[in-house]
Amino acid sequence: MKQFNIQHTDKSLEPTIQQKIDHLNKPKGSLGRLEGLAMQICLIQETLSPSLNHPCHLLLGGDHGIEREGVSVSPREVTWQQMINFTRGGGGVNMFCRQHGFDLRIVDVGVDYDLTTFNGIIDRKIARGTRNFLYEPAMTTQQFDRAILTGCELVDECIAQGCQVLCIGEMGIANTSPSSIWMSIFGHIPLGECIGAGAGLDSPGVEHKRNVLVQALDHFNQTMPAADTETIIRYFGGFEMVTAIGAMLRGAERRLVVLVDGFIMTACAVAAIMLYPAAQDYMIFTHCGDESGHRRMLDIVGAKPLINLGLRLGEGTGALCAFPLIDSAVRMINEMNNFDTAHITKYF
């Protein structure tokens, strides 16, 4: 796997940043989480005047071998159908990217369909879906490495356009299944407590999904005892998920603000943090979704989400919805008068 040089943000800058925040013409601490966001973004960018130029949204598509076991209410063709829909501007992600000014990049890293004839889809296909991790690793070491590097390359392309904010979403039927297993392993949580309805399974469907994933995890533990983090990620992950991990790590390495979306992207963020703990300094966990266990997965890394709207669409839509709060935090520290310029007596 590619090695990353990810440094913790320089906390020695905190007193200077805090002084500027506290000197804005407002009661000390009165803008709550916005003040914490401003602090984090200033630390990421190492400046007292942060900016959010050219925000980019990577929408990564991939299919999963485990879908063949009936663990999702949606059939796998929905992945490619939605990818095509995105090119026509008809998805939730399209709407929110338009609303908040994000450069949307739709990327096929592993969809089980030929999408090369559709304008608007970037072709980085590694394979037509992963293998079935009920019986074998989802991807080879070479495929894993390629997915990580693809994520890095996509981020570098965004940065070349002036990107300072990276948002990542996914489209991949059955990707709550590997997410649940990563949650169980990395969070030391019983697997049954990590499994939810995904795109809308009924109670018998959730029970079937649980049985399949328990079998898959038991098989993994028997065949690969004491596996390291990279092996765990490779064995269960989807191409879109491992590409997202590569993008998150590269984003942290290049000091971008990295927005983390819902259940699947939080699983990817947890995996990235397990590999490189300092990467968390660059991540803003934007929301707590409605998928069972998302709150507990956020707790694994002590993340405090910005909003809770009961979302579970994926695609990065929750992160996009939360972006105005991040924008407000940056506007606060850049545009509010301080006590001196406002000619107001500082009363604390």
3-state secondary structure of 77: helix
Cβ pair 87, 121 in contact under 8 A:
yes
Distance (Å, whole) CA 255 – CA 83: 29
* 315 tagged catalytic: yes
Residue 166 host element (H or E): strand 165-171
Distance (Å, whole) CA 40 – CA 9: 9
Q: Is 118 exposed, middle or buried (0-12, 13-18, 19+ CB in 10 A)?
A: middle
Among 69, 77, 315, 335, which one carries the catalytic annotation?
315
- In the chain the first and final C-alpha atoms are separated, in Å, by 52
3-state secondary structure of 69: helix
Distance (Å, whole) CA 331 – CA 38: 9
Cβ pair 4, 249 in contact under 8 A:
yes
Measured in residues, the chain has a length of 348
Distance (Å, whole) CA 17 – CA 21: 6
Smallest CA-to-CA distance from 175 within 112, 143, 130 is with 130
- For residue 74, CA distances in Å to 2, 93, 110, 142, 263 come to 34, 19, 17, 29, 17
State how far Cα 294 lies from the chain centre: 13
Cβ pair 248, 280 in contact under 8 A:
no
What is the set of active-site residues?
315
